[in-house]
A and B are shown apart, each in its own frame.
Chain A
Amino acid sequence: MSAAPHAHDELPEPIPWKTGQPGVVPSLDEPPKPIAASPPPARAPVAAKPPTPTRGPKRAGSGIPARPVIRRLVWLRRFSQVGFFALFMVFLCETTFRGSFAAKADAVVRLPLPVEGFLLADPFVGAMTLLSTHTIYRGLLWSVALLAVTLVVGRVFCGWICPFGTLHHFFAWLLPSPKGRGSHRVDANKTHTYQRAKYYLLYAFLIAAVFGSAIGGMFDPICIVVRSIGLGVIPAAQYVTHRALGTVTDHGSRPIQSAADHTQDFLARTVWESHQFYFHQTWLIVFLFAAVLFANRFIPRFWCRVLCPLGAFLGVFARFALFGMEKDHAKCTDCNLCLVHCQGADSPQGGVKWRQDECHMCMNCETACHEDVIKFRFLPNRASATTEPDTLRRTTLAAAGAGALFLPGARIADSLDVNYHSKVIRPPGAVEERAFLERCIRCAECMKVCPNNALHPAMFEAGVEALWTPILIARIGYCEHSCVLCGQVCPTGAIQKITEKEKLGIDQPPIKIGTAFYDRGRCLPWSMQTPCIVCEEFCPTSPKAIWVEEVTVPVRDSKPGPNGEPPAMKEVHLQRPHVDPSLCIGCGACEKVCPVQDQPAVYITSVGETRSKTNVILLENTNYNQST
C-alpha cells in the first residue's frame, strides 16, 4: 500500500512556489531538511500510471487518489459513527424497565442491557472519580480500555465512537453559515488558540475533583447526550407524537384510530414509556444542548474543538499514540483541500506541524490530499507533528486555581453544612452527601430509568455545586417500593447497587430516603371532616408507616336551618392519619397520591435519611457506632 502512485515524477513543470525549487519546502518551524522523508521513488515507474478518470469526479491537482486503505477506513469510520450512535440510542431507550410476558412473578427486576456502557468506558469520568474517591468504581474499569485504544491510535473515540461527536459532525455538515464555504471554511478549520479552552476546563475539573467535586460531569459529552436526549428530546418527541396522534384518533375513522393506537403502543414499548415523563427545569438542559449544536454554524465541531474535557483528556494522552500522521511538506501545493473537511482543526495542511492532540483521526485529510503529502501510519516520523497540547503555563495554573477554589466557594454558600434544603431527597442507595458529590457526574441515567418519573435534575435546591444531580420530587412521582434500578445504572457509585432485600429491609433496617409529615391544616380528615386516607392505602411498608385513628367528630351542615336558624351540627366518623417515623421510609407515595392537588397535605422531606448521620430526627437513628 505504501507504493502509491507518484504522478509527481511525470509532472512536466517543477513547483515554483515559495522557494522556486522543486520539492524542497522547509516547514515554518523546522530547519530545512533533505527530502529523505518522502518515499523512495524506486517503484515509481511501475506505479506511475495515471489515475483512472472513470471513477468519481475529477480530482484537483495531480489527481492522485488516496490509498485504498484510507478510503476504506473513511467509510469504516462513517459506519462506526452511525453504528455507535445507534447503539447509544438503543441503550438510552432501553434505560427503562420494560416488563416481560416471559418473566416469572418472582424474577428479579433488572435491566437486561448494560445501558450505562458508554459512561463506564469514559476515562474522564474514571479519572475524575479516581481523584475524588481514590478508587475506580466497578464497571468504570472499562475506561482503561478506552485509554488503551487512545494510546495506540489517538483520539479515535472522538472521531469514530463518541455519540456527541457524531452529532456535531452531522450538525457541522448541516448548519454551515453562508460564509462557511471556500476560504472561510478553510480558515475555520485551521487551528485556533480558542481550542486551548478545553484543556483549561479539563485541568480545572480535575483539580476540583481532587478537592471533592465531580462537577466536571456537567461537561462530559456522554453525560450531556444522556441528559439532553434522555430528559429533553425523547420526552418532547413523545409529547408531540401523543398530541398529533391524539388529534388523529379524535377525528379519524376506525382503521385510522386503530393504526394510531398501535403506533403509540409500539412507541411506548420501544422508544419511550407508557406515560408522559416530565423533568424539573429541563428547559435549561435542552436549551444548552441546542445552543451547543447551533454553535456549529460559527465554529465547526464547536464542542469537540473548544469545550470537550473528555476530548482534552484523550488529547493529553494522544501524545503516546503509536499511530499518527506523517507529512511531506515538500510535496504540498497549499491547495488546502485537507482543511475543507478537517474535523479536529489539527493543522493537516503543509507548512505547519500536525497537532496530534487535536486530531480526531477521521482520515478526511488524507482522503482529500491528492499530492501525497499526508500519510497516516504506525510509528510515524514525528518531525512534522506536535504531540502535546499547546497550552500556556500561566493560564493552566489559573485554571487549576479556579478548580481548587470552586469547592470552598460552593461550600461556604449555605447549601450543605448548614441550611441543607429539606427537599434534597436523594435516591435510595445514595451515599452520604459529601461522598455523593464526589461521585455524581449528573449523567441522568437514574432519572431516565426511574419508572415513576420520580427523579429529577436539581436546579439550585442543593446549591450550585449540585446542579443537575438527582433529587426526588414526590409530587411528580414516588419511589417505587421494590425498585433498585437507579443504583443499577449509576456508573460511579453515587447510588450504590443495593438489592431489594437491603432496600425493603428484609432481616435488616430498610433504606430510608426521608420522612413524611402531615399538614393538618390541609388534610381532609384533619381539617375538613372528610374521609380520605388514600395515603394510608398507598403506604407500601408492612406494617404501614401511616396508621389511622378512628374518631367521631362534629361537623356543621352546609345549609342553614329552617327560619334562618344556624346550620345544624351532625356527627361524622373519620379515620385520621398519623405517621410512624420509625417505619416511614420516605418513598413519597403518600405525597404523590394526596388529593389536595396544588400543595399536598402530606409531604416528605429528607430528614431521617439512612445515608446521613446528621440529618436525623429520632435518637435511635443516630448510631455513631456504625461503620458507614
Chain B
Amino acid sequence: MLVRLGSAAGVLAGASVLGRAVWDKGGFDLAAQSGARQVRDYRVALGPGDGLAQLAIARGGALPSATLARDLVGKAVDALGGMKRFVSRGDVVVVKPNIGWDRMPIHAANTNPDVVGAVIEQAFNAGAKKVIVADGSCNDPDRCFQRSGIWRKAYSLGADVILPAEHRYRTTRIKGEVLDEWPIFTTLVDADKVINVPVAKHHNLAKFTAGMKNWYGVLGGRRNRLHQSIDVSIADLATFMRPSLVVIDAMRVLVRNGPQGGNIDDTRVMNTVVASTDQVAADAFACTLIGQHRDNLPYLKMGHERGIGTMYWENLRVKEV
C-alpha cells in the first residue's frame, strides 16, 4: 500500500513541478522585441593608401568580351591597390553577384559572368582559401544560376556555388528604420571578406540600382513588402552589409524596363567596370552611366547621411583607367 501511495504522490509531484515549470501566464513575449542593431562589417582597415584611388573606373576598347572583362576588373582593382589589399591569405571570400533573374548574360539583368569570374580569379590569386558565390534569386534559382552563366563560370574557376535553400536562412535582427527582423541568407554573411559584384541597371521603382540594392539578395522571406519604402530599405540593407569591396559590372547595361529586362534592345554596351570601397560613391557614380543623377536617388542621400559613404564621389580620389 505504501508503494502505491508513494507512486501516486510521486506522479502528482512530478506533474505539479512540470506544470509550474512550463506555466504560460499569457500575453506576448516582450523580450524578443529588444536587441541591438546588427551590422555585418567586412571592411578592411586600409592604410592612408597615398596615391591609390578610392574610386576606380575602367573603360575598355574593342577586345573580345571575356578577356576585356578580366582586363577591366584587373585595372580597376589595381587602381585601388590590388586585390591583396582586400583579401588576405586564408580568407573565406564571398562574392555576391546579382543572379536575380532567369535571363541570359546578353539581357544584362544579372551580373556578367566574366566580371564575376575575374573577381573570383583575383580573390584566389590574392590567397583566398575559399571563394563562395551565392545569391537569393527572384525566379527559380536553378534556372537563374544556370542561365546567367555564373554557375558554370564560377565552378570552372574552383569557387563554391551555393544556391539559396530554406535551411540556409536564419532570422536576424537588422533593426533598420523599416527592416527589423528578417531571414538572412547565412551563406552570404558567414565569411571573412565579402565582395559585392552587382550589375548596374535601370529599375522602374528605384530608377537606378547597383551595389546597395544588390543586398536585397541577402534577404529571404517576403521581400515584396520592401517596395513600399524601397529607398529606406535599400539604405537599411547597405547599413547592415558593409562589403570589403564593390565591383560594379557595367559591361552591358540595362537602360530601360529594369530590373528584369528581357529585351536586348533595352541594353547598351558600355564596357565599364567601377571599383570602390565606398558603396554609396560607387552607386552615385554608376547612375550617371544611364543618365541618372544622385539627387533623384533618395537611397544615396540616406546612405550619405547615415555615414555609410559619400554620394559626392568627385570628392574621393577618382582614377580613370
Contacts and interface: CB of A to CB of B under 8 A. Distances in A.
Contact of A261 (B138, B142, B168, B263): B168
Contact of A107 (B146, B148, B203, B260): B146
Interface stretch (A63-71, A369-377, A480-488, A551-559): A480-488
Interface stretch (A201-209, A433-441, A462-470, A528-536): A528-536
A531 B257 contact: no
A278 interface: no
Interface in B194-241: 203-205, 222, 224-225, 227-230
Given A103-B146, A105-B104, A264-B167, A531 B228 contact: yes
Contacts of B263: 542-543
Interface in A262-279: 264-265, 268, 274-276
Contact of B151 (A99, A451, A481): A99
Interface string B43-56: 00000000000000
A524 B140 contact: no
A261 B169 CA distance: 11
B108 to A, nearest CB: 12
Nearest to B105: A105
Nearest to A261: B167
A104 B149 CA distance: 6
Contact of A101 (B104, B147, B151, B225): B151
B224 A593 contact: yes
Contacts of A524: 228
Given A97-B143, A101-B151, A534 B227 contact: yes
B67 interface: no
Contacts of B228: 524, 530-532, 595
Contact of B146 (A109, A276, A544): A109
A48 interface: no
Contacts of A104: 149, 152
A483 B143 CA distance: 9
Given A268-B165, A593-B224, A480 B102 contact: yes
Contact of B204 (A103, A540, A548): A548
Interface in B133-159: 138-143, 145-149, 151-152, 154-156
Interface stretch (A50-58, A242-250, A314-322): A242-250
Specify the main secondary structure of chain A where it touches its partner: loop
Given A542-B262, A543-B257, A595-B224, A101 B155 contact: yes
A464 to B, nearest CB: 33
Interface string B161-177: 10111111000000000
A507 interface: no
B139 A531 contact: no
Given A99-B151, A264-B167, A543-B257, A531 B205 contact: yes
Contacts of B203: 537
Interface in B254-270: 257, 259-263, 266
A321 B266 CA distance: 66
A540 B260 contact: yes
A13 interface: no
B113 interface: yes
B167 A242 contact: yes
A247 to B, nearest CB: 11
Contacts of B102: 480-482
A113 to B, nearest CB: 16
A538 interface: yes
A531 B143 contact: no
B164 A274 contact: yes
B149 A531 contact: no
B37 to A, nearest CB: 22
B143 A533 contact: no
A179 B17 CA distance: 46
A534 B142 CA distance: 22
B213 to A, nearest CB: 12
A245 B167 contact: yes
A597 interface: yes
A102 interface: yes
A531 B227 contact: yes
Nearest to B113: A105
Contacts of A101: 151-152, 154-156, 161
Contacts of A593: 224
A549 interface: no
B129 to A, nearest CB: 16
A275 B205 contact: no
A246 B113 CA distance: 33
Nearest to A453: B140
A261 B156 CA distance: 24
Nearest to A452: B140
Contacts of B166: 242, 274-276
A46 B146 CA distance: 70
Contacts of B147: 105-107, 109, 482
A248 B171 CA distance: 16
A97 B113 contact: no
B141 A482 contact: no
Contacts of B259: 537
A386 interface: no
Nearest to B168: A261
Interface in B6-29: none
A445 to B, nearest CB: 18
Contacts of B113: 105
Nearest to A106: B104
A529 to B, nearest CB: 11
Contacts of A97: 140, 142-143
A100 interface: yes
B166 to A, nearest CB: 5
A98 interface: yes
Nearest to A101: B155
Contacts of B230: 531
Contact of A246 (B154, B161, B167): B167
B235 to A, nearest CB: 15
A452 B167 CA distance: 17
Given A482-B143, A531-B227, A595-B222, A103 B152 contact: yes
Nearest to B104: A105
A533 B204 contact: yes
B143 A100 contact: no
A446 interface: no
A542 B113 CA distance: 23
A99 B138 CA distance: 15
A603 B141 CA distance: 24
Interface in A570-600: 575, 593-595, 597
B262 A540 contact: yes
The 9 closest A-B pairs by CB, nearest first: A105-B149, A99-B142, A101-B155, A99-B146, A542-B262, A274-B165, A542-B263, A451-B140, A264-B167
6 contacts: A103-B152, A242-B166, A274-B141, A541-B262, A548-B204, A595-B224
Given A531-B227, A533-B204, 19 more contacts: A97-B143, A99-B142, A99-B145, A101-B151, A107-B147, A242-B166, A246-B167, A265-B167, A274-B141, A480-B139, A480-B143, A483-B143, A530-B228, A537-B227, A539-B260, A543-B257, A595-B222, A595-B224, A595-B225
